[in-house]
Amino acid sequence: MKATSRYLLSAAGLIGFLLIWEAIARSGLLATHLLPPPSTIPAALTSEIREGFWQVMVLSSLRHYSIGFVLGSVLGVGLGVMVALFPRIEASQAWLARVLRPIPPLAWIPFAIIWFGITETAAAFIISIGIFWINYFTAMGAVQAVDKDLIEVARAFGHRSFPALLRKVILPGAAPGILSGLRAGLGQGWMTVVAAELFGIQGIGQRMIEASGLLATDVVILYMFSIALLYGISDYIFVLIQKRILEWQR
């Protein structure tokens, strides 16, 4: 398939979805507050911006998200790489990771509140948990999958110290895996943003709860779209960077 026809089809899919939705919402089968038509969203957006909510909410959510993303990614990749490199650490974490891994980020909310209070730190902490696990396991797998023969090549050409092997073979070899983990975390982070703000921390999630309490479902949908937009932009930028770094892949 050519790139242009691919773009056209993707756009057609999205537009078709919006049109069907608009038609159902306008048919009168459902009350407007149950399913507001997408055509009401621009008006909701202008009103939210005029009243100064949209900018503030988006900015604070972005802040929680960014802190959570950096924290979860750095710790996840760092520990994942370490665990893969040292069999003793690998063995000591095996059961521990199995115990902690299945706990959903939202289950940590009570502790986040007890430890950090109703603060932005608490929201960032919750966001970072899901991101951490994704990166932890993908980084571990990526390092374990590095071609052992290439490590031997580096050693044969005089790079025998651990830091040299890490820099010249292990990290570049694991880079594709680590980057795809980071990208998955990028999406996972947005999925927890709303929930992390439900308990009263200023942000998109909080505003959505307020709006749904007033049955202002158009505002709820506006923020749903806002999240989609933010994710779309961050993923797009990430893929550009990723392509740049992985230029060596065909």
136, 96 in Cβ contact below 8 A? Answer: no
- Nearer CB in complex with another protein: 118/152: 152
The residue with tokens 């040299």 is: 164
Min. distance of Cβ 242 from another protein in angstroms? 13
Min. distance of Cβ 147 from another protein in angstroms? 8
Min. distance of Cβ 83 from another protein in angstroms? 23
Min. distance of Cβ 238 from another protein in angstroms? 19
- Nearer CB in complex with another protein: 51/149: 149
Cα distance between residue 65 and residue 228, in whole Å: 14
- Give me the residues that bind another protein (CB under 8 A), please: 147, 149-150, 152-159, 164, 168-169, 172-173, 175, 247-250
- Nearer CB in complex with another protein: 85/151: 151
Question: In sequence order, what are the residues at sequence separation of 6 or more whose Cβ sits closer than 8 angstroms to the Cβ of residue 68?
Answer: 123, 124, 125, 126, 127, 128, 131, 189, 192, 196
Min. distance of Cβ 207 from another protein in angstroms? 44
Question: In sequence order, what are the residues at sequence separation of 6 or more whose Cβ sits closer than 8 angstroms to the Cβ of residue 243?
Answer: none
Min. distance of Cβ 134 from another protein in angstroms? 23
Cα distance between residue 113 and residue 105, in whole Å: 13
- Nearer CB in complex with another protein: 85/175: 175
Q: Cα angle vertex 26, ends 54, 38, to 5°?
A: 25
User: Shortest CA distance to 48 belongs to which of 208, 233, 169?
Assistant: 208
28 Rama class: left (phi>0) / alpha (psi -120 to 50) / beta: left
- Nearer CB in complex with another protein: 57/170: 170
User: Shortest CA distance to 39 belongs to which of 164, 215, 218?
Assistant: 218
- Nearer CB in complex with another protein: 106/175: 175
